[in-house]
Amino acid sequence: MSLSDHPRAYGTAAIAIAFAAGILITLGFKDLYPDLERRFQQRSRPRPRPRGSTDVQRRRSSLFWGPVELEDHETSKDLEVPGARIPRDDGISNGIEGCIGRTPLIRIASLCEATGRTILAKAEFLNGAGNSPKDRVALSMIEAAEKDGILKPGRGDTIYEGTVGSTGISIAALARAKGYRAHICMPDDQAREKSDLLHHLGATVERVPVQPIASPDHFVNLARRRAAEHTASSADSSVGFFADQFESPANYHAHQRTTGPEIYAQTDGRVDAFVAGAGTGGTISGVAKYLKEDAKLKNLQVVLADPQGSGLYNKIRHGVMYSHTEKEGTRRRQQVDTIVEGIGINRVTENLEAGRDLIDTAVRVSDEQACKMARWLVEHDGIFCGSSSAVNCVAAVVTALSLPPGSQVVTVLCDSGTRHLSKFWKQIAEMGLEDEPKPDNLLTLLDIKKPS
Residue pair 333/189 in contact by the 8 Å Cβ criterion: yes
pLDDT above 80 (res 357): yes
pLDDT above 80 (res 23): no
Is residue 86 helix, strand or coil? Answer: strand
With a CB cutoff of 8 Å and minimum separation 6, the contacts of 318 are: none
CA distance linking residue 310 with residue 407, whole number of Å: 28
pLDDT of residue 91: 83
CA distance linking residue 433 with residue 438, whole number of Å: 8
Q: What is the DSSP letter of 49?
A: B
pLDDT of residue 37: 52
Other residues' Cβ atoms within 10 Å of the Cβ of residue 215:
13
Nearest alpha carbon to residue 197 among 389, 424, 425, 420 = 420
What DSSP assignment string belongs to 29-44?
TGGGHHHHHHHHHHHS
Q: What is the DSSP letter of 448?
A: -
What sign has the CA pseudo-torsion 351, 356, 361, 364? Answer: positive
* Higher pLDDT pick, 292 / 53: 292
* Higher pLDDT pick, 163 / 330: 163
CA distance linking residue 431 with residue 429, whole number of Å: 5
Q: Encode pLDDT of 401-445 as tens digits.
A: 999 999 999 999 999 999 999 999 999 999 999 987 888 999 999
Other residues' Cβ atoms within 10 Å of the Cβ of residue 255:
29
According to DSSP, the residues that pair with 120 across neighbouring strands are 107, 410
Is residue 167 helix, strand or coil? Answer: helix
pTM, entire model: 0.82
Q: How does residue 271 score in pLDDT terms, banded at 50, 70 and 90?
A: very high
Q: Encode pLDDT of 272-300 as tens digits.
A: 999 999 999 999 999 999 999 999 999 99
Q: How does residue 32 score in pLDDT terms, banded at 50, 70 and 90?
A: low
Distance of CA 391 to CAs 22, 149, 216, 249, Å? 65, 39, 31, 25
Q: How does residue 59 score in pLDDT terms, banded at 50, 70 and 90?
A: very low
Residue 377's identity, in one-letter code, is: L
- Please state the rounded mean pLDDT for residues 115-142: 98
pLDDT of residue 451: 86
Long-range contacts of 40-43 (CB under 8 A, 24+ apart): none
pLDDT of residue 218: 96
Is residue 247 helix, strand or coil? Answer: coil
Strands 118-123 and 273-276: unpaired
Q: How does residue 332 score in pLDDT terms, banded at 50, 70 and 90?
A: very low
- Any catalytic annotation for residue 122? no
Query: What is the average pLDDT value for the chain, to the nearest integer?
Result: 87
- Please state the rounded mean pLDDT for residues 16-27: 66
Taking every pair of Cα atoms in the chain, the longest distance, rounded to a whole number of angstroms, is 116
pLDDT of residue 90: 76
Distance of CA 218 to CAs 161, 210, 326, Å? 12, 7, 19
pLDDT of residue 53: 37
Q: How does residue 330 score in pLDDT terms, banded at 50, 70 and 90?
A: very low
- Please state the rounded mean pLDDT for residues 292-316: 97
Q: Encode pLDDT of 142-198 as tens digits.
A: 999 999 999 999 999 999 999 988 999 999 999 999 999 999 999 999 889 999 999
Would you mind telling me the total number of residues written for the chain in this entry?
Answer: 452
Nearest alpha carbon to residue 153 among 181, 128, 130 = 181
Nearest alpha carbon to residue 304 among 268, 344, 340 = 344
Question: Of residues 77, 122, 134, 194, which has the active-site annotation?
Answer: 134
pLDDT above 60 (res 370): yes
Helix intervals (H) in 29-115: 33-43, 109-115
